[in-house]
Amino acid sequence: MLLSIFSTLYETLAGENPNYAEYRESIFTSVGWLTLITVFIISLIFYVGFGRWKPFFHKLSHWIITLIIVAILGFLFAFMLSRSELGITDSYVIRFSFFNAIYAVIYFIIFSLLLKRVSIFAKRTPF
């Protein structure tokens, strides 16, 4: 079931790649899980780790920096895993990596809305 969820998410924006079945068989699932778990861990560190420890990393600018880091990591995860699995770099790999970065940003926003309640200093970050 989760295989079809990640396949549906990625194929909705990036489109289907009929030339390589590896995307649907393994790449979508591994990139999807890696991105989701990494973004959740970064959100936990931001809100529970730093947000409850000291008031030094809790402003909107810090949240935007973290958001940019999450987007870059999302792009790199998809790019590196696709490239290592297929051994090529084509326009679909770039497009898929770009949309994975967008999904990473969306995941971070959702986790921010859920986790900011447990923070002490970042309770009002980002909104």
Which one has a higher pLDDT value, 54 or 111? Answer: 111
For every residue of 8-76, DSSP letters joined together read: HHHHHHH---TT-THIIIIIHHHHHHHHHHHHHHHHHIIIIIIHHH-TTS-SHHHHHHHHHHHHHHHHH
The mean predicted confidence, pLDDT, of the chain is 85
* Domain ranges (residues) in the chain: 26-118
pLDDT band at 104 (very low <50, low <70, confident <90, very high): very high
What's the pLDDT at 77? 95
Q: How far apart are CA 99 and CA 11, in angstroms?
A: 10
What's the pLDDT at 78? 94
Environment class of 104 (CB within 10 Å of its CB; exposed 0-12, middle 13-18, buried 19+): buried
Please state, for a pLDDT cut of 70, what percent of the chain lies above it.
92
pLDDT band at 95 (very low <50, low <70, confident <90, very high): very high
Sign for the CA dihedral angle at 56, 59, 63, 66 comes to negative
Which one has a higher pLDDT value, 37 or 86? Answer: 37
Q: pTM for this one?
A: 0.88
Which one has a higher pLDDT value, 74 or 29? Answer: 74
User: What count of residues does the chain have?
Assistant: 127
Q: How far apart are CA 114 and CA 118, in angstroms?
A: 9
What's the pLDDT at 99? 93
What's the pLDDT at 58? 74
- Given a cut of 50, whether residue 1 has pLDDT beyond it is no
Q: What are 60-94's pLDDT values in tens digits?
A: 888 899 999 999 999 999 999 999 988 888 888 99
3-state secondary structure of 88: coil
